[in-house]
Each structure stands twice: as C-alpha cells, then as structure tokens.
Structure 1
Amino acid sequence: MSNEPRPPLHLSEALASFDALWSPRIVERVNDYDVRIAKVEGEHIWHAHDDTDEFFLVLDGELHISLREPAGERTVLLPKGAVFTVPRGTEHKPAAPSGAAILMFEPSGTLSVGDRHDEVPGHVDETTGHALGV
C-alpha cells in the first residue's frame, strides 16, 4: 500500500455505493486497523471477539447491541451519533430493526462473525470487509 495520502472520502458517498447488508466496506486503514462501514438491518448473530474490542459509531438509524455479561444479558440502544465499544471476549449480537449505517474500527482481518466463523449467515458475503467499490 502506498504511503501517499488518499483524497478525502465522504461517508455518505461511500454508503451510497453499495446495498449489501452486514457486509462491511473498508474505507480507510490506520496502522493495522480497518475503518469499516456497513449497512445493517434485522439481526446479526451472537458472537465474541476473543482478542480485540469492537468499536461502533452509528452514522444513521439506531443500532441495538445485546450483550451477555457476567451480571446477565442486556441491550444497549445506540441512536445516530452514538459510539459504543464491546469489550473483548464479550458475547454480543448487533441488530437494527429499522435499519442503520454504522462505522466500525477494528484490527485488519477481524471477522464480523467473531468466533462463529462456521456460522456465517447466508446474506453476509464478506466477514473481513470488502475494499470500497467492490
């Protein structure tokens, strides 16, 4: 990858370039991390990331993240503009009943299905992120 800076990218244009749900697009790389965007609707699957936290920023809509924690199960509601980090090892299930657009920041190569790599839902066409424009 070149060390030349890329031109600025408008997230609204990037989001308009694809329709696939739960299949992230990589909009930028920062050191060894991907900045990914995704359109989501309905429910994802329960999963955990044993080696990394997972950062979410809601760009549009509302995201629900159900968490299974030692104290029990709870759901965090994230409206547009909200950020939330799921701690490593925490089983979670994102959902967007009315649809949402999200930005995630995570180590390159991180699977969007975490430890459930053998349970990829049929509607998910990529778990580590497509290059934008693919």
Structure 2
Amino acid sequence: MTRMLAGAIGDGVFKVVLGAAFLVGGARFGDLLGAPTWLLAVSGAALLIGGGIEAAYVRRRPMATCLRLMIAYDIGWVLASAGALVLAWQGSTAGGELWTAYLTAAPLVLAALLVGAAATPAPTPVRPSAPDTLAP
C-alpha cells in the first residue's frame, strides 16, 4: 500500500470518526458550535456515509481522481471554516451552522463523485513472447 493510498483511506476514516463523534456528542458539539443538535446528527450521518464510501472506493478509482476530489473537498472545508470564523467574529451564531451544513453536504457530494468516477482498469497480464519458429 502506498503512502498516498493510506492517506486517502485515512481521510475517509477521519470522516467516519468525526461523524460518529457528531452522532454521539451532538448536543455538546451543538452548544460549542452554536448549531442545532438535529443538524449535527444529520451531519454525523452524512460524514459516516461519505467517509465510509470514500474509504471503500478509493482503492477502485484512479489516485489522481481521488486526490483532485479530496483537494476540492478540503479547499471547500477551509473556505467554509473561514466563513464561519468571520461570522463568529462578527457576533453571529450562523458560523457553526454554516460549517456544519458544509460537513453535511460535501461528504455526500464527494462520495457521489467517487462512485460515479471511472474505475481503475485491471492490470493487463504480460505474457512472454512466443519463440521465433521461423529463425534458422
């Protein structure tokens, strides 16, 4: 297993763990983030589903496709986090809802794109060439 593949699987596992934490500790995270408990429960379920699909499908898809999708996801996460911080600094309670809403939608979109991506073709076995029977 390559480091990139291990990292991609780890990314999916991280989403699963975060989703489980949201489901188990939704009320505590909701108080911390200023988001309703139901949104954290929905987000936790989405993270569990999306992370599970990501961890399962990353082996079946070209690594270049997986990396592009994960980079796009992480850029979106950074932008959503920055937007949430700006809202929080302005005294709004919508920052936690924005961040949690991103964590609800983005894993499902990533999973759908991974499932829809072209599968990695199976390696073609290399057969030794036949002996030259025409040589003298």
What TM-score do you get using the length of structure 1 for normalisation?
Answer: 0.22
Query: Which one has a bigger Cα radius of gyration?
Result: 2
Q: Which of the pair has the greater relative contact order for Cα pairs under 8 Å at 6+ separation?
A: 1
Which structure's residues are more often strand, by fraction? 1
Which structure's residues are more often helix, by fraction? 2
What TM-score do you get using the length of structure 2 for normalisation?
Answer: 0.22
